[in-house]
Amino acid sequence: MILRRSRRLESVIDAVGNTPLVRLRKVAPHVPDVEVWAKLEFANPGGSVKDRPALRMIQDALADGRLTRDKTLIDSTSGNTGVAYSLFGAALGIRVRLVMPSNVSKARKDIARNFGTEVVFSDPMEGSDGAIRLARELVAKDPDLYFYPDQYSNPSNWKAHYDGTGPEILEALGDRLTHFVAGLGTTGTMMGTARRIKEHARPVECVAVEPAEALHGLEGLKHMATSLVPEIYDPRVPDRIMPVGTEAGWDMADRLAREEGLHVGHSSGANVVAALQIAEDAHRRGRTACIVAIICDRGDRYFAPMRWERQYVW
């Protein structure tokens, strides 16, 4: 057995990034000639991929003076970015106020509050777009009180992935990499990671995942045709968009827990559904492929029942 030296960190913020890649074998036994890898972003200290952009937006704003200790950070979030803001706000001594749809999972509400964050709820029927509108209204009423990073339009969002997620994937897989898969929410993960990956010498197809339906249960993802499109989104960056149904995303999340020991959220399940479709297509064509799918967060954020077609008894 090889013992690895534990990293020594000055602060919890130094634990962000360098997340592991895990080969998915049990959900992909029918495509043995294709590598399907999961980038485990739940290994970040806040438990999700959103740790990267949240920290970068805070650090960039502190560096250029937009954020000071006299201001309150406010933003809209469906949960994971809010948890990250709350964690880093506590670590850096910054007050945080979040606007969330009232139907986000109880776990995310409770986690954010545990860090001392104030939570304001928006109309659940308006989803993430309603939270965006309410956050902007609050800032407009008292602009001197707040620093509003606005994760949907802040370039620091995608730059966190350009400087972090993309290089990490390339360092691990190099010229073997053929496909990258990530869902569209704020779109920062796809925008930043794909831009960096496309600079690699070997062509890599970057595939964006979105819900197949306007009304869906893939929390954190946007059906772009019927949503407020984030300002940081550039439709030229992904090579193609793959729609995935809610049922398929939920079922894959269940499979990953049972068969791979990975308890993940439903948007992560949707990313793996798309990755397996790509793998199956490559297998049919007799081609080798190496595919990386982003695993956004852990499944324990979804323990509380949510309003959707599937009924759970707890």
Host H or E run for residue 270: helix 266-284
Q: How high is the pLDDT of residue 110? A: 87
Enclosing domain of residue 194:
12-48+155-301
What is the CA 188 to chain-centroid distance, rounded?
8
Is there a single domain that holds both residue 119 and residue 165? Answer: no
Would 307 be classed as within a structural domain? no
Q: How high is the pLDDT of residue 314? A: 39
Look at the chain and report how many structural domains it folds into. Answer: 2
Would 57 be classed as within a structural domain? yes
Is there a single domain that holds both residue 209 and residue 182? Answer: yes
Is there a single domain that holds both residue 170 and residue 27? Answer: yes
* H helix intervals, 142-187: 155-160, 166-173
pLDDT at 1 over 80: no
Is there a single domain that holds both residue 40 and residue 138? Answer: no
Mean pLDDT of the chain: 92
Mean pLDDT along residues 194-210: 96
Largest CA distance in the chain: 60
CA 191, 119, 113, 110 dihedral sign is: negative
36 compared with 101, residue with greater pLDDT:
36
Instruction: With beta carbons less than 8 A apart as the criterion, state whether 212 and 243 touch.
Output: yes
Q: How high is the pLDDT of residue 4? A: 62
Is there a single domain that holds both residue 77 and residue 196? Answer: no
Would 2 be classed as within a structural domain? no
Last residue of a domain, one of 118, 147, 176: 147
- Res. 308 pLDDT band, cuts 50 70 90: very low
What's the half-sphere exposure (Cβ side, CA atoms, 13 Å) at 97? 16
Last residue of a domain, one of 113, 147, 181: 147
Global confidence as pTM = 0.91
Q: 54-58, 92-96, 225-229, 247-251: lowest mean pLDDT where?
A: 225-229
Last residue of a domain, one of 112, 130, 147: 147
Tell me the CATH number at 103. Answer: 3.40.50.1100
Nearest to 291 by CA among 40, 38, 41, 36: 36
Is there a single domain that holds both residue 229 and residue 202? Answer: yes
Is there a single domain that holds both residue 291 and residue 206? Answer: yes
CA 209, 215, 221, 226 dihedral sign is: positive
